């Protein structure tokens, strides 16, 4: 796909988008988009791997204008009604969602949504029920590794961890640790993060800049409770993204249930309204199993969303709804190729062809 991608991105997608092919070939069911907030104005990329999940305000505005012109953006309420009754939706329906509940949701994303008179379903974690804004634990870990020396050693014998990490291994080691730390419940995980911080030689105030700087705090901190209320009062729909954003497949059964169920109850108590939608943290096939899908249903949600692409039809399981992940580098044509499902089909085609080539060459 690596060699094919530039050709698709720069030649094929613009041509097909301009010619209206994507609209004509659009899926029949609704398409759900996943954003992760907006990069605040003046923000300079700190963590390329994670920042790539956020879009600029200009791109977001441009994408919303494009959708309003050529697609039908539906409200979360209309989506819920469709889920429950399968009442017909307009053709080329699109639902906007945004994960993690970063402060930029309120300060940067909401104004653009209001300009366009559109609603979005925001998935927030239990951290947004606190009066003090905090960072997502796995982003905090990534920032610590970025600030650490080019190579470092880490030893946490209580969880069987001993590693020598070189600069080029930092990202893969970070991801390995995200999996490992997800095995622990929220308070234990926090303590382990503190131990890692100390091992790396950082003081408790190492992240003060991220908390105090107005731009960095919008990018990295999650909404506080009063900010969450402001988002809900502005007419946005609030969904759940678990208590502490672990990779649920790695959690014990008891912890996974607590993450899903307690968070729903806490959020409903705080907002005084039903929370009907869940977005599984990370949301890919390695972080969500059938156990979590069953838990979402048992907890009383009406629908739950993954972060894997695919079409939604009347038969798509309500607790495993796919979404299209929007990233910072998408052009408008690429954006439309993703919405129409064309990108996914191409990806599968190329994958099958390369598999065939590999298998063929071995025979
Ligand atoms: Zn998330």
141 C-alpha to center of ligand 1: Å? 15
Question: For residue 185, with 0-12 CB atoms within 10 Å meaning exposed, 13-18 middle and 19 or more buried, which class applies?
Answer: middle
248 C-alpha to center of ligand 1: Å? 12
- Give the tokens for residue 194: 């503190």
327 C-alpha to center of ligand 1: Å? 14
**Number of other CB atoms surrounding residue 271 within 10 Å:** 17
110 C-alpha to center of ligand 1: Å? 18
Distances (CA, A) of 224 to 51, 219, 230: 21, 14, 10
> pTM of the predicted model, to two decimals?
0.92
User: What's the rounded Cα separation, in Å, for the pair 122 and 34?
Assistant: 10
138 C-alpha to center of ligand 1: Å? 10
For the chain, the residue count is 363
318 C-alpha to center of ligand 1: Å? 19
**Which residues does 230 contact at the CB level (< 8 Å), separation at least 6?**
106
Domain boundaries, the chain: 4-134+222-362, 137-199
362 C-alpha to center of ligand 1: Å? 40
Bridge partners for 239 per DSSP: 123
Sign of CA dihedral 39, 40, 43, 46: negative
User: pLDDT tens track of the chain, all 363 residues?
Assistant: 555 577 788 887 788 777 787 777 766 789 999 999 999 999 999 988 899 999 999 999 999 999 999 999 999 999 999 988 878 899 899 999 999 999 999 999 999 999 999 999 999 999 999 999 999 999 999 999 999 999 999 998 889 889 999 999 999 999 999 999 999 999 999 999 999 999 999 999 999 999 999 999 999 999 999 999 999 999 999 999 999 999 999 999 999 999 999 999 999 999 999 999 999 999 999 999 999 999 999 999 999 999 988 778 888 999 999 999 999 989 999 998 888 877 777 777 776 766 555 444 443
Domain 4-134+222-362 has CATH 1.10.10.10: no
360 C-alpha to center of ligand 1: Å? 39
- Give the tokens for residue 122: 């925001």
User: What's the rounded Cα separation, in Å, for the pair 340 and 343?
Assistant: 8
- Residues with Cβ–ion distance below 5 A, ligand 1: 99-100, 281
């Amino acid at each position: 796909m690596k060699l094919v991608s530039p050709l698709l991105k720069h030649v094929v997608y613009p041509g097909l988008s301009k010619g209206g092919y994507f609209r004509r070939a659009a899926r029949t069911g609704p398409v759900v988009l996943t954003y992760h907030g907006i990069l605040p104005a003046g923000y300079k990329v700190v963590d390329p791997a994670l920042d790539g999940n956020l879009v600029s305000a200009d791109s977001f505005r441009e994408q919303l204008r494009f959708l309003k012109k050529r697609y039908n953006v539906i409200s979360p309420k209309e989506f819920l009604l469709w889920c429950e009754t399968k009442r017909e939706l307009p053709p080329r329906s699109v639902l906007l969602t945004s994960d993690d509940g970063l402060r930029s949701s309120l300060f940067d994303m909401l104004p653009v949504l209001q300009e366009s008179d559109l609603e979005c379903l925001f998935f927030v974690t239990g951290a947004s029920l606190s009066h003090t804004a905090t960072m997502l634990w796995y982003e905090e870990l990534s920032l610590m590794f970025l600030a650490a020396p080019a190579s470092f050693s880490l030893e946490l014998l209580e969880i069987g961890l001993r590693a020598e990490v070189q600069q080029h291994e930092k990202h893969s080691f970070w991801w390995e640790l995200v999996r490992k730390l997800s095995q622990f419940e929220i308070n234990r995980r926090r303590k382990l993060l503190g131990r890692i911080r100390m091992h790396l030689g950082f003081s408790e105030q190492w992240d003060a800049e991220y908390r105090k700087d107005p731009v960095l705090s919008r990018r990295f901190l999650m909404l506080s409770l009063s900010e969450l209320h402001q988002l809900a009062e502005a007419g946005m729909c609030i969904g759940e993204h678990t208590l502490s954003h672990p990779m649920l497949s790695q959690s014990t059964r008891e912890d996974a249930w607590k993450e899903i169920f307690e968070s729903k109850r806490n959020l409903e108590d705080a907002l005084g309204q039903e929370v009907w939608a869940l977005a599984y943290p990370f949301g890919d096939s390695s972080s969500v199993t059938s156990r979590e899908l069953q838990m979402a249903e048992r907890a009383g949600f009406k629908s739950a969303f993954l972060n894997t692409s695919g079409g939604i039809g009347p038969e798509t399981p309500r607790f495993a709804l796919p979404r299209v992940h929007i990233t910072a580098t998408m052009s408008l044509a690429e954006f439309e190729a993703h919405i129409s499902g064309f990108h996914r089909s191409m990806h599968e085609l190329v994958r099958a062809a390369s598999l065939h080539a590999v298998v063929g060459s071995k025979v």
